[in-house]
Amino acid sequence: MPTYDYRCPRDGVFPLRFPIGEAAPAVRCATCAGEAVRVFAPPMLSALSRALVAALDRTGRSAEAPEVVTRIPGRADGSHPVNSGRMVRRPVHPGQARLPRPD
Ligand SMILES: [Zn+2]
């Protein structure tokens, strides 16, 4: 049986064995009985940045349980620069603002 990693927010990562395809998305931590979620990143990634590990976790979750998008991602209030009629145009690179403008 393969080993799957689960992460408890209090006690850290611990391994559990499940038959292939039957790993639960979340289990009870054996130490504190809190919820521990499955970690999709392979072992030895603890040296990576938190942002990268979070992205890898999200990628793994997305494969099994994709998040459903109900509106165009944008501002917190749900409005979008395109939909609201005023486009926000930012330079691609900060140095672009210093370039000469065409006549
Ligand atoms: Zn725990």
Expressed in angstroms and rounded, the spacing between residue 5 Cα and the centre of ligand 1 is: 13
Per-residue pLDDT at 78 exceeds 90: no
Expressed in angstroms and rounded, the spacing between residue 12 Cα and the centre of ligand 1 is: 7
* Residue 4 host element (H or E): strand 3-8
Expressed in angstroms and rounded, the spacing between residue 60 Cα and the centre of ligand 1 is: 22
Domain ranges of the chain: 3-64
Mean pLDDT over all residues of the chain? 80
Q: Which residue has the higher pLDDT, 103 or 15?
A: 15
Q: Work out the average pLDDT over 95-102.
A: 84
Q: What was the pLDDT predicted at 28?
A: 94
- In whole angstroms, how large is the CA radius of gyration of the chain? 21
Expressed in angstroms and rounded, the spacing between residue 38 Cα and the centre of ligand 1 is: 13
Q: What was the pLDDT predicted at 58?
A: 86
